[in-house]
Amino acid sequence: MHFESSLLGTIEFDDRSALTFVADLAGLEGCRRFQLCHDAGVEPNAPRVWWLQSLDQPDLTFSVTDPANLGVRYVLELSDEQAAALKLQRAEDAVVLVMVYKDVLAAAHPALAPLKANLVAPLVINPVARTALQLTGLKADVCFSNRS
């Protein structure tokens, strides 16, 4: 299929690869179908940032990354309802991503804006069923470790 993204241009994808969020993302009613895109020219071992393009709104694109790229590791407990909605067979099959953004209000010029991450509302994805949800209202326990 073809999709015209306002930011990424024409995206070609297989409709079966689209992610369906089982509930609306915070503040985005009725926007549940997304395509995860990446830059094919990135070095294989480089930290990756992907684009999460809405297939419901062409103007809506998020940058997402593995929280491990930021030195963050989640220990999440999903409710039975959340696990069922995601169609998760095993918890270890879930993939967690976080949205990253430039805080353009914190810099004199948008190009110099610091990169920030929304760590309290991660995305949990079942890559097999192509389902996802955003966890909101997380409480953080900070744990420092000298283990790798």
How far apart, in whole angstroms, are the C-alpha atoms of residue 37 and residue 2? 13
Is 17 within 8 Å of 1 (Cβ atoms)?
Answer: no
Average pLDDT over residues 27-40: 85
pLDDT band (50, 70, 90) for residue 112: confident
How far apart, in whole angstroms, are the C-alpha atoms of residue 33 and residue 8? 16
Higher pLDDT, 119 or 111: 119
Looking at the DSSP bridge assignments, the partners of residue 115 are 102
Q: What is the pTM of this model?
A: 0.83
Task: Give me the long-range contacts of 110-118 (CB less than 8 A, separation at least 24).
Answer: 117/65, 117/67, 117/70, 117/72
